[in-house]
Amino acid sequence: MIAVTAAETENHFGRVLRQAAEEPVTIEESGFPVAVLISYDAFERYQTLEDYYWGERAKAAREKGGYLEGEVLMEKIRRRIDES
């Protein structure tokens, strides 16, 4: 992951956008990360994992009256990532 300043992003948005198509780009302001620019494909993968996360929590709540948490939930997410 590369990092660029907010000013560089403003001044060279096209270049930063092309970089984000290849790998996430951290945008920093005053030396601190404030945002990450990612490709649409990466965003879709993130959305899929987030939907899976909340779906598993809802399923556990329905089935057991509680939410999956901690390592049990993380293991399910790891398996889902491996399947992708």
pLDDT digits (tens, 9 = 90+) for 31-59: 999 999 999 999 999 999 999 988 888 88
Residue 9 has pLDDT above 80, yes or no: yes
Residues 61 and 48 placed together within one structural domain of the fold? yes
Q: At 26, is the secondary structure helix, strand, or coil?
A: strand
Q: Give the model's confidence band at 63: pLDDT under 50 very low, under 70 low, under 90 confident, else very high.
A: confident
Residues 49 and 71 placed together within one structural domain of the fold? yes
Q: Give the model's confidence band at 64: pLDDT under 50 very low, under 70 low, under 90 confident, else very high.
A: confident
Residues 23 and 57 placed together within one structural domain of the fold? no
Residues 6+ positions from 56 with CB-CB distance below 8 Å: 68, 73, 76, 77
Residue 71 has pLDDT above 80, yes or no: no
Residues 49 and 68 placed together within one structural domain of the fold? yes
| Residue pair 68/60 in contact by the 8 Å Cβ criterion | yes
Sign of CA dihedral 23, 18, 37, 8: positive
- Look at residue 65 in the predicted model and tell me its pLDDT: 59
| Residue pair 4/27 in contact by the 8 Å Cβ criterion | yes
